[in-house]
């Protein structure tokens, strides 16, 4: 509403019928996964709004956040506990606490937006790929198994 001359695209299936649609908002209910990279790469800035239950839990980002960053999308997100352990605010992701924060982010230069997207992509590729998560799970399970085995041996002695 504050930027009637700008075009916005919203994707997702969980928007209510009474969402305040306007003539500058284009809605895509479902986007097949194969089309996600093109969708994220086509936007100057991607707004991430975390589902309430995930934000309340903290340290529980949507996979779409990493998917968008891996595509080099510059992201502005709502703030939630743990977000700064995945991305560095102000450098790899922008935080929105108000509509004004989003409007200000849209006013950043193309260079600033591109730098933000590049840094987010680098962070995802360096630390947050599925290979990283698989290796982390393997370490956690091995540690748990080792702890259980030690406990069993100590009980036997």
State what percent of residues in the chain have pLDDT above 90: 77
Q: What is the CATH number of the domain that holds 72?
A: 3.40.50.2000
> What average pLDDT does the chain have?
92
Q: For residue 157, is pLDDT > 60? A: no
Specify the pLDDT at position 155: 60
Average pLDDT over residues 87-101: 97
SS (H, E, C) 4-26: CCCCEEEECCCCCCCCCCCCCEE
User: What pLDDT score was predicted for residue 77?
Assistant: 97
pLDDT tens track for 34-81? 999 999 999 999 999 998 999 999 998 989 999 999 999 999 999 999
H/E stretch holding 94 reads strand 94-96
Does 48 reside within a domain?
Answer: yes
Task: State mean pLDDT over 15-39.
Answer: 90
Would 1 be classed as within a structural domain?
Answer: no
CB 116 within 8 A of CB 94: yes
pLDDT value of position 97:
97
Asked if 78 contacts 99 with a C-beta cutoff of 8 angstroms, the reply is no
Checking if the pLDDT of 86 tops 90, the result is yes
**Residue 156 pLDDT level (bands cut at 50, 70, 90):** low
Number of domains observed in the structure of the chain: 1
135 part of a folded domain: no
pLDDT of 152 higher than 70? no
The DSSP call for residue 89 is B
Domain assignment present for 157: no
Examine the pLDDT at 153 and tell me if it is beyond 60.
Answer: no
The domain of 98 spans 8-129
């Amino acid at each position: 509403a504050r930027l009637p001359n700008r075009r916005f695209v919203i994707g997702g299936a969980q928007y209510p019928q009474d969402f305040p649609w306007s003539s500058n908002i284009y809605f895509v209910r479902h986007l097949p996964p194969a089309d996600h990279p093109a969708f994220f790469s086509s936007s100057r800035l991607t707004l991430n709004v975390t589902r309430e239950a995930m934000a309340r839990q903290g340290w529980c980002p949507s996979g779409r956040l990493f998917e968008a960053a891996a595509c080099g999308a510059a992201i502005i997100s709502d703030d939630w506990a743990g977000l700064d352990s995945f991305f560095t605010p102000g450098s790899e992701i922008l935080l929105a606490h108000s509509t004004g924060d989003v409007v200000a982010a849209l006013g950043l230069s193309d260079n600033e937006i591109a730098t933000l997207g590049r840094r987010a992509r680098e962070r995802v590729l360096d630390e947050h790929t599925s290979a990283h998560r698989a290796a982390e799970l393997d370490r956690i399970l091995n540690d748990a198994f080792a702890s259980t085995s030690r406990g069993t041996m100590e009980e036997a002695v």
